[in-house]
Amino acid sequence: MIYAEINNLKNYYGLGRYLDEAISYLDSHPLEGIETGHYEINGKYLYMNVFEYETIAEEGAFFEAHEKYADIHIIMDGEENIGVSDISRVTVKTSDKESDLIEVAGKVEHYMKLIPGKALIALPEDAHMVKLSPRQPSTVKKAVLKVYMDGGSKGI
């Protein structure tokens, strides 16, 4: 997991070629004013989804991980908490290799507060629970860059 100011992400160049490409993309493409939707950047290796939703209580949240992709979470409007646990400390409930989605259950080890200007990179070893309300439900606009990690976490 990497939790940093967006403008400090360039300090993480060298962790993977598509992660480098994602950081370069974010450096040259400001997200202010971007519309919700799907954005192709480099085919299956790097793409972005922009969402707008209401944050929720932890009891209703989905806890997930990925084997091949890292997720870069960036809030443009609002705030949300993301719960993160090492994949070795949770239990796999379901796994869909085609969509690279692993549903997990277990205890959240760390809560990271995402606000505009911050970024959270959930690497393949990081199970993450998203859309969590920091205090009460609120509207969030968020970009998630999906970054292929050259053979999973071993590629970083």
Whether 80 and 134 have beta carbons less than 8 Å apart is answered as yes
DSSP structural state of residue 56: B
The torsion region of residue 9 among left (phi > 0), alpha (psi -120 to 50) and beta comes to: alpha
For the chain, the first-to-last Cα distance in angstroms comes to 12
Name the nearest CA neighbour of 65 among 84, 46, 44: 84
**Residue 34 φ/ψ, nearest 5 degrees:** -70, 145
How high is the pLDDT of residue 111? 97
Contact assessment for residue 142 and residue 49, using Cβ atoms and an 8 Å cutoff: no
pLDDT value for 150: 75
The predicted structure's pLDDT at residue 135: 87
Tell me the one-letter amino acid at 17: R
Q: What is the pTM of this model?
A: 0.93
pLDDT digits (tens, 9 = 90+) for 63-103: 999 999 999 999 999 999 999 999 999 999 999 999 999 99
Q: What are φ and ψ of residue 13, in 5° steps?
A: -60, 145
Q: Are 45 and 148 in contact (CB under 8 A)?
A: yes
Please give the backbone phi and psi of residue 132, each rounded to the nearest 5 degrees, phi first.
-80, 135
- Domains in the chain, start-ordered, CATH in brackets? 2-151 (2.60.120.370)
- Which pLDDT band holds residue 156 (cuts at 50, 70, 90)? very low
Task: Assess contact for 141 and 77: CB atoms under 8 A.
Answer: yes
Q: What is the pLDDT of residues 32-60, one digit of tens each?
A: 999 999 999 999 999 999 999 999 999 99
101-131 per-position pLDDT tens digit: 999 999 999 999 999 999 999 999 999 999 9
Question: Would you say residue 142 has pLDDT above 90?
Answer: yes
